[in-house]
Structure 1
Amino acid sequence: MKKASSSLSELGLGEDISRAFFRPIQQVAPPSPSKRRTKISVVGAGNVGMAIAQTILTQDLADVLALVDAKPDMLRGEMLDLQHAAAFLPRTKILASTDYAVTAGSDLCIITAGARQIAGESRLALLQRNLAIFRDIVVPLARNSPDALLLVVSNPVDVLTYITWKLSGFPPNRVIGSGTNLDSSRFRFLLADHLEVNAQDVQAYMVGEHGDSSVALWSSISVGGVPVLSSLDKHQIAYEEEVLERIRKAVVESAYEVIRLKGYTSWAIGYSVSNLARSLLRDQHRIHPVSLFAKGFYGIPDDREVFLSLPARLGRGGVLSVANVHLTEEESIRLRRSADTLWEMQQQLGI
C-alpha cells in the first residue's frame, strides 16, 4: 500500500517557496526566553488515547502533540486524520512515531496503553503483563522528558500509577493517575440530573481505589453550597445508608453500561483527562480527585506506599497539596481498606 505524503516537501516542493509568500523582517530579534511551547505526549492511539488527543486539540491545550503507539500504520493514519483537520483547529503541531524520541521535551506525558484482561486471567497475572509493558513505556518517557508530569490513565490505574512512579524515579508529586476524576463527574451528573441543576454546581467526590470499591464522600457533598445530608436532616427527609450505597453502585456501574452498549468508554475519559491537563499545565490550582501518593493521609499508614484517589490541588508542579475533607468513620475505614488491598497486591509485583 502506497504511503501518503504528509508534507509538501515530500512531494518535491522546496522549502524556500515561503519566500514567494512572505517578506522577512530585517534584524528580527530572537524569541523571548520566557516564552515556551507546551508539549503533550499521548502513549496509546486506541479509542481512549485518541479521544484524549482530540479533546486536547479542540481545547487548545498544547502547541505540540506527540502520539506514540506500537502499531505504525494505525498511528500514521490517526496522525494524518488529525492533521487534515488543521483548518478547523488551533495551530498545533502533531507528531507521531513508534520511537519515544518523538516525546522529548514533553511537559505532560499521558499513558493510555496497557494489556486488557483475558477471560479467566487473574488480576495479578494481568498486572504482571502490564508491568512488562510499562517497563518499555515509562523508562524511555522519563529519559526523554526528565522534567515532565506523568499522567496514567490505563487500568488498573492505581497500581499502574504506583508502577510508573517506581519505574520513572520521579518524585511522587509528578506522577498522577486519572483515578476517580471521571467517577466523581458521573456522581455529580447523577445528582445534578435528579435535582435539575448544572453539574458544575454540585460538589461531590468519589475517592479511594478506582473501580468497584471506590468510596462516595456523602458527608461532604453540597449543591450550590448547601450540604446535602444536613439539608435532608433539617427538612426531616428520611434516607437510609442502603439507598446511598445503591446510588454509589449506580455510579460505578454506569461505566459498565457504556462498555456493554458501545464496547468501550472514550469521550468522557477524554474530557476528564483534558480537564486534568488544563489544571496541571495552566497552574490553575483546582481541586481534583486523582490517584496520588497517599501514604500518611487520612490515616493511611506511613508504611503503605500506595496511590489512590484523594481530592488534591493540582498545578504546574503536579500534586501541590491534599484537601482536608471531612470523612466519617465509615468513610475512613473504607479508604484504609482500599489502601490495604492495593498494598497487598503491589507486594506481589516484586518492584
Structure 2
Amino acid sequence: MDVAIVGAAGSCGRQLASQLLDRRLLPATGRLQLVGHQGGRSADELWGLRADLDDAFVDGAPALEVVVDPADLSADLVVMLAGVTVSSDLGAAVDRAALGKANLPIYQLYAEAMAARNGPPPTVIVQSNPVELGVQVFAERLGRRHVIGAGALSDSLRVRAELAVDLGVRRPQVQALMLGQHGDHALPLWSQLRVQGVATEAVAALVHRIRAGRTLADFPQELRAHRMEMFGLIRSGQVQKAYDLVETLSADLRAVVKPFFIHFTAGRTTEIATAHAVAEIIAAMVTGEQRILPAQVLLAGEWLDLHGVVAAPVILSAGGWEAVEQLELEADELAGLHAAMAAISTANRAVMQPS
C-alpha cells in the first residue's frame, strides 16, 4: 500500500510520517508521498523532511517522494492533515464555522484532484478539522465507503486512557467508545464499556461515580463550561492551575477538554496523539485485519436509520469501511447520537452553502 500525507510538513504530518516508518507499517517496496502546497513554505520544508526521514529510517524504508501538485498525488491511501487547526486566539479556539470555511477550499481542491484520477478512487483518512466536513466533501466526490474520519478514534483512545488511569489498568484493557461529533457533541457510550481484568461491579461503581447527577444531554454544556474556565486560567498565565482543573474532571470530560489544554500549552497542537490515531487505522488496513474502530463516516441508513455524517463503530476494509457494527444503544445514547448528527449537518450546511 502506498500512502500519501497531505500536510506532511506540519507538526502532525511529521509525526505521522515518523510513526509510520518507525513502526514499519509500509514495506520497502512501497511509497510514502509527502504532500505540500506548491509555492508555499511547506514545499521547501518537505525536502528537508525527506532527507531527515531518510537518515533516520534508511534501512527497510519505503521510497519517499515530495509532491506539491495535487494532480501528482497517486497513493492508494491518502491522509488529510492539511489546513488550519485552531485559532491562536483562545476566544476563537472553538469557532468550527470559521475553521470549516478556512479548510473547505483545501478539502475541495484535493477531493477534485483525486476524483479526476484514472482507476479506482483512493481511500481517504480525514484528520484535519472539522473532521466531519472533510468526510462529507471527500465522500461526495470519491464514494462514501472510501472515506473515514479519524477524530472518533482519537477521542476513544483518549477516553480509554483516562478510564484506565481511574481504574489502575493499562489502556489496552479498556474497551470504550466515544462517538457522535469530534467536538462539543462527543458522545461517551457507557453501555459499551468493558474492562479486562476488572470485576464488573468495580467498573459499574466507577461509572456510577462519574455519572452521578449528570446526563448525556448535559455533556455538551458541561464541556463548554469547563473548557472556558480552563481557557481563562491559561489566558491569565496560570497554566499549572489549568492543568490541575482538567485533572479534577471526570474521565469523559478530561478526554475532550484536555486536548484543548495541550493545544495552548504545547505548541498549539496535539500532534503525537493525533498521528497515533491515524497510524492505528493504517496498521489495521495494511495488515488486512478486520477490526471494528470508531470513525466518522457518511451513513445511509446502515445503522439506526441514520443518514449523514457521524462517528459510528465501523468495520474496516483495505479500501475504507464495509459495514457498521450493529450496536444497541441506551435511549439517552441514541438521543445524543441524533443530537450530534443534527449539529454536524447544520454546521456542514452552513459552511458548504454559498453565501
Q: Would you call these one fold, judging by a TM-score over 0.5?
A: yes
Instruction: Summarize the Cα distance change of 1:86–1:238 in structure 2 as closer, same or farther, 3 Å threshold.
Output: closer
Task: Answer whether contact 1:219 1:229 (CA < 8 A) is retained.
Answer: no
Instruction: Summarize the Cα distance change of 1:329–1:94 in structure 2 as closer, same or farther, 3 Å threshold.
Output: same
TM-score, normalising length from structure 1?
A: 0.79
Could you tell me which of 29, 51, 61 is aligned with 1:80? 51
Instruction: Summarize the Cα distance change of 1:152–1:338 in structure 2 as closer, same or farther, 3 Å threshold.
Output: same
Q: Does 1:219 align with 2:191?
A: yes
Give secondary structure in 2 for the equivalent of 1:180: helix
Task: Answer whether contact 1:96 1:102 (CA < 8 A) is retained.
Answer: no
Aligned residue pairs total 307
Q: What code does the residue aligned with 1:134 have?
A: Y
Which residue in the other structure is 1:332 paired with? 334
Could you tell me which of 83, 99, 105 is aligned with 1:132? 105
Question: C-alpha offsets along residues 304-335 of structure 1, whole Å, 9 cap, x if unaligned?
Answer: 4x222111111213112111222110111010
* Cα shift at 1:199: 1.1
Give secondary structure in 2 for the equivalent of 1:54: helix
Instruction: Summarize the Cα distance change of 1:258–1:102 in structure 2 as closer, same or farther, 3 Å threshold.
Output: same
Which residue in the other structure is 2:150 paired with? 178
Which residue in the other structure is 1:320 paired with? 322
* Cα shift at 1:114: 1.3
Q: What code does the residue aligned with 1:250 have?
A: R
CA–CA separation in structure 2 for the residues paired with 1:230 and 1:331:
22
CA–CA separation in structure 2 for the residues paired with 1:254 and 1:139:
35
- RCO greater where, 1 or 2, for CA within 8 Å and sep 6 or more? 2
Q: What code does the residue aligned with 2:5 have?
A: V
* Cα shift at 1:52: 0.9
Which residue in the other structure is 1:20 paired with? none
CA–CA separation in structure 2 for the residues paired with 1:204 and 1:233:
16
Give secondary structure in 1 for the equivalent of 2:142: coil
Instruction: Summarize the Cα distance change of 1:64–1:340 in structure 2 as closer, same or farther, 3 Å threshold.
Output: same
More helix by share: 2
Answer with 254-263 or 181-190: which moved more.
254-263
Instruction: Summarize the Cα distance change of 1:227–1:333 in structure 2 as closer, same or farther, 3 Å threshold.
Output: farther
CA–CA separation in structure 2 for the residues paired with 1:271 and 1:51:
8
Give secondary structure in 1 for the equivalent of 2:184: coil
Q: Does 1:252 align with 2:222?
A: no
CA–CA separation in structure 2 for the residues paired with 1:83 and 1:153:
25
Q: What code does the residue aligned with 1:332 have?
A: L
CA–CA separation in structure 2 for the residues paired with 1:238 and 1:171:
40
CA–CA separation in structure 1 for the residues paired with 2:151 and 2:203:
29
5+ residue gaps, structure 1: 1-37
Which residue in the other structure is 2:84 paired with? 115
Which residue in the other structure is 1:141 paired with? 114
* Cα shift at 1:282: 2.4
CA–CA separation in structure 2 for the residues paired with 1:267 and 1:136:
27
CA–CA separation in structure 2 for the residues paired with 1:228 and 1:102:
53
Which residue in the other structure is 2:164 paired with? 192
Q: What code does the residue aligned with 2:62 have?
A: T
Could you tell me which of 248, 255, 279 is aligned with 1:274? 279
1:50-65 matches, cutoff 5 A: 50-62=14-26, 63-65=30-32
Greater Rg by CA: 1
Instruction: Summarize the Cα distance change of 1:116–1:188 in structure 2 as closer, same or farther, 3 Å threshold.
Output: closer
Instruction: Summarize the Cα distance change of 1:216–1:237 in structure 2 as closer, same or farther, 3 Å threshold.
Output: closer
5+ residue gaps, structure 2: 220-249
Task: Answer whether contact 2:153 2:295 (CA < 8 A) is retained.
Answer: yes
Give secondary structure in 1 for the equivalent of 2:289: coil
Q: What code does the residue aligned with 2:70 have?
A: Y
CA–CA separation in structure 2 for the residues paired with 1:97 and 1:293:
29
Q: What code does the residue aligned with 2:263 have?
A: I
Instruction: Summarize the Cα distance change of 1:163–1:147 in structure 2 as closer, same or farther, 3 Å threshold.
Output: closer
Q: Does 1:103 align with 2:107?
A: no
Q: Does 1:153 align with 2:156?
A: no
Give secondary structure in 1 for the equivalent of 2:116: helix
TM-score, normalising length from structure 2?
A: 0.78
Amino-acid identity (%) = 26
Task: Answer whether contact 2:4 2:32 (CA < 8 A) is retained.
Answer: yes
Which residue in the other structure is 2:349 paired with? 347
Task: Answer whether contact 2:11 2:271 (CA < 8 A) is retained.
Answer: yes
CA–CA separation in structure 2 for the residues paired with 1:91 and 1:238:
45
* Cα shift at 1:242: 2.7
Give secondary structure in 1 for the equivalent of 2:104: helix
* Cα shift at 1:298: 4.7
